[in-house]
């Protein structure tokens, strides 16, 4: 933090304090803002759960945005590779963006492997106490490999993809996450409910909003999807062509193996 401040001072950059504050934005939105940081191996379900949680929060009337690992590498981080240094810079940039979104009153959800403890701690240090909520999508690498429809794990084992997390690059498990999701055995709906329950306990969203949402579902068995004309039966059907549905026993899980 001190290094960044010194650099800003050398560049004559002075922080401008707006009259519209985060608190006023939160009051307008009717909920607190926060950073919901999903971490885990490729194929552990981070993107699927993050987007499913966002869908539910949106239906509850919350202002949200998902930072998806693959998406940011098309623009903001398109100049970065997958060396340890580039991975750290990737997370640093996302952390700074997430901080701005939290200041804007938005619930910012992220889906990144973010394999290193130090990088996740850097993001945590950017935010005020209670603003960073770390959620570990815990899934054995063997199961992640089974879900890998793109063949990334197979190619990594063959040496075709360098510095692939879990194969040729380490993943450092969270030491004290706010929530651990068993994405091997739990289905998407169960995982989403656990995240929403945590947000209620942390006073990010109110019980009133959650009850209003459940009441809406009780009187209307279908949830309208803005991207399709026909209704859909479950929030678990996230309408995103980048996700594929795999069935394993009686569990369903969207996967999109990545290198984030």
Active-site position among 42, 47, 52, 114: 114
Tokens standing for residue 84: 């340890």
Tokens standing for residue 38: 């999903």
- Does residue 104 carry a catalytic annotation? no
Give the residue numbers marked as catalytic: 114
């Amino acid at each position: 933090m001190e290094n960044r401040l010194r650099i800003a001072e050398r560049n004559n950059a002075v922080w401008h304090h707006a009259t519209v504050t985060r608190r006023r934005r939160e009051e307008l939105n009717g909920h607190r803002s926060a950073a919901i940081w999903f971490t885990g191996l490729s194929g552990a379900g981070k993107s699927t759960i993050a987007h499913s949680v966002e869908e539910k929060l949106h239906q509850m009337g919350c202002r949200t945005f998902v930072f998806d690992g693959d998406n940011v590498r098309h623009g903001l981080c398109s100049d970065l590779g997958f060396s340890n240094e580039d991975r750290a810079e990737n997370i640093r940039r996302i952390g700074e963006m997430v901080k701005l979104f939290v200041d804007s009153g938005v619930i910012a959800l992220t889906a990144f492997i973010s394999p290193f403890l130090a990088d996740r701690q850097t993001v945590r240090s950017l935010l005020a106490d209670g603003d960073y909520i770390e959620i570990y999508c815990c899934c054995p690498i063997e199961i992640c490999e089974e879900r890998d429809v793109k063949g990334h794990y197979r190619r990594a084992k063959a040496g075709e993809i360098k510095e692939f997390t879990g194969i040729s690059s380490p993943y450092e498990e969270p030491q004290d996450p706010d929530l651990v999701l068993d994405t091997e055995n739990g289905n998407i709906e169960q995982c989403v409910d656990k995240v929403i329950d945590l947000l209620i306990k942390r006073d990010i969203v109110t019980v009133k909003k959650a009850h209003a949402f459940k009441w809406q579902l009780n009187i209307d068995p279908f949830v309208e999807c803005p991207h399709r004309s026909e209704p859909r039966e479950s929030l678990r059907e996230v309408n995103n062509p980048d996700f594929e549905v795999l069935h394993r026993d009686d569990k369903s899980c969207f996967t999109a193996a990545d290198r984030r």
